[in-house]
């Protein structure tokens, strides 16, 4: 997916949607790596955000960067397929949101897209044991999903370390992404615990200078 050791993925949920294309263009030219979508359905989580049309609009606008879609929705399969058609490069979903985790993983892969499994703070890592080798990414939530701008849950650090060991044991190129409360104060300990991909929303889009902020984030993990 990337030769970079560390990936910074700004979450567009915190961007200005009135000028979203320009916002994404700006943040990507400022040193970000992936575009992160937080997709919520007001059913699996208590919030409603964006759908495949926004993904297609960014592609039509000319955004060619890697698009990383996190589905906080149920059911999974149909909307995952719609996002892939709209231009997503990777789709992650929650195991609780589908009746057949392995089938949903394979449906995404069969459509030519990379796949991730998203784990909530209160979800056991046992779900990864039988499917981790089929994944391109494990997404650990360090806040309870539903809203941006929440504080990092410290207990996630132990979980990151455990998943890092699981990934290393496979010998495969599987990225470990952390989403929730990642900012200048937390990114170093998140990286030290074993994460290599960092979702940051308000920590980037809430600042006046994206390039300066991303440079400072990288300095914490270099």
Closest CA to 133 of 173, 161, 98, 94: 173
Q: What is the full DSSP assignment across the chain?
A: --S-S-EEEEBGGGS-GGGHHHHHHHHHHTT--EEEEEEEBSSSSS-B---HHHHHHHHHHT--SEEEEEEE-SS-HHHHHHHHHHT-SEEEE-GGG-S-HHHHHHHHHHTT-EEEEEE-TTS-GGGGTTTGGG-SEEEEESS-TT-SSPPP-TTHHHHHHHHHHHHHHHTS--EEEEESS-STTTHHHHHHHT--EEEESHHHHTSS-HHHHHHHHHHHH-
Q: Which residues are catalytic?
A: 38, 179
């Amino acid at each position: 997916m990337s030769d970079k050791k560390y990936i910074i993925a700004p979450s567009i949920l915190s961007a200005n949607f009135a000028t979203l294309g320009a916002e994404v263009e700006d943040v990507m030219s400022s040193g970000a790596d992936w575009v992160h979508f937080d997709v919520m359905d007001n059913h699996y989580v208590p919030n409603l955000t964006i759908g495949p049309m926004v993904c297609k609009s960014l592609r039509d606008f000319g955004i060619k960067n890697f698009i990383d879609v996190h589905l906080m929705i149920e059911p999974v399969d149909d909307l995952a397929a719609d996002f892939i058609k709209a231009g997503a490069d990777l789709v992650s979903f929650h195991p609780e949101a589908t009746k057949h985790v392995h089938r949903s993983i394979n449906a995404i892969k069969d459509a030519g897209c990379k796949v991730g499994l998203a784990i909530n703070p209160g979800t056991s890592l046992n779900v990864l044991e039988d499917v981790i080798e089929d994944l391109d990414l494990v997404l650990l939530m360090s806040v309870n999903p539903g809203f941006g701008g929440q504080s990092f849950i410290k207990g996630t650090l132990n979980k990151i370390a455990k998943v890092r060991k699981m990934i290393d044991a496979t010998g495969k190129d599987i990225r470990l992404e952390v989403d929730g409360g990642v900012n200048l104060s937390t990114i170093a300990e998140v990286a030290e615990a074993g994460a290599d991909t960092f979702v940051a929303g308000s920590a980037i889009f809430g600042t006046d200078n994206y390039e300066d902020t991303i440079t400072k984030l990288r300095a914490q993990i270099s």
